[in-house]
């Protein structure tokens, strides 16, 4: 919460409340602990009691590598919270995606962008970033889609925004990794640059320095 107190946490499959017990209706989410970025928790703007858990699994588990989301209401269960979405039928955002989820605030609006790397037509090579907007009205299921110059079949690896929201790094195990520009007012990803690495071209994760001068 705004005071830094733990509310809940998840590995994308099970949600635990602040007492480290399984949250009400908090089992069976469709992420996977083996997924690179199995889950990300997003607060609903202008509502301190509602959160969304976005999940992505791996191809062989939990219904495949689809992107779903779940609502958590912290006023439920005497303040310990509950997952209020139907666990067996969560909203589906993407049919097939890589194991990547990341988020950044909108540059002006009281909104949050949630981005994943997927296929523009549904299946096949991963060739595009899909950016969803979370606002005071909830999750917009229609994404901003940005097609990339170099598609890949590799699923694993982190997706990380720079602290200032200007850049996006896509790390890929089994293929090249890339740096992109991110437009923090529109959600558009552009200007692909391959990262030249001297030791191993296949990397799982990365971080960007606070002043955004180093990866």
Instruction: Check if the beta carbon of residue 214 is closer than 8 Å to that of residue 208.
Output: yes
Instruction: Give the global pTM.
Output: 0.94
CA distances (Å), 83 to each of 57, 140, 169, 213, in order? 18, 19, 31, 40
Q: What share of the chain is helix, strand, coil (3-state, %, to 5)?
A: 0, 45, 55
Distance CA 34, CA 88 (A): 21
Residues in the chain: 215
pLDDT tens, residue order, the chain (215 aa): 889 999 999 999 999 999 999 999 999 999 998 999 999 999 999 999 999 999 999 877 666 689 999 999 999 999 999 999 999 999 999 998 999 999 999 999 999 999 999 988 777 789 999 999 999 999 999 999 999 999 888 889 999 999 999 999 999 887 789 999 999 999 999 999 998 887 766 788 889 999 999 99
């Amino acid at each position: 919460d705004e005071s830094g107190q733990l509310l809940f946490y998840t590995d994308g499959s099970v949600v635990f409340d602040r007492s480290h017990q399984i949250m009400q209706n908090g089992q069976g989410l469709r992420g996977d602990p083996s997924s690179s970025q199995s889950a990300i928790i997003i607060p609903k703007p202008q509502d301190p009691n509602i959160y969304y858990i976005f999940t992505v699994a791996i191809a062989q588990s939990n219904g495949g590598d689809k992107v779903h989301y779940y609502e958590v209401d912290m006023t439920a269960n005497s303040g310990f919270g509950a997952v209020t979405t139907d666990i067996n039928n969560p909203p589906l955002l993407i049919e097939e995606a890589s194991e990547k989820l990341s988020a950044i605030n909108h540059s002006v609006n009281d909104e949050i962008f949630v981005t994943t790397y997927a296929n523009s037509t549904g299946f096949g090579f991963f060739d595009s970033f899909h950016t969803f907007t979370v606002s005071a009205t909830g999750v917009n299921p229609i994404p901003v889609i940005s097609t990339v110059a170099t598609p890949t079949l590799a699923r694993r690896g982190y997706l990380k925004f720079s602290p200032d929201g200007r850049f996006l790094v896509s790390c890929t195990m089994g293929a090249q990794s890339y740096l992109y520009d991110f437009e923090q007012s529109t959600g558009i990803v552009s200007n692909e640059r391959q990262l030249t690495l001297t030791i191993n071209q296949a990397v799982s994760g990365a971080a960007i320095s606070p002043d955004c001068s180093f990866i």
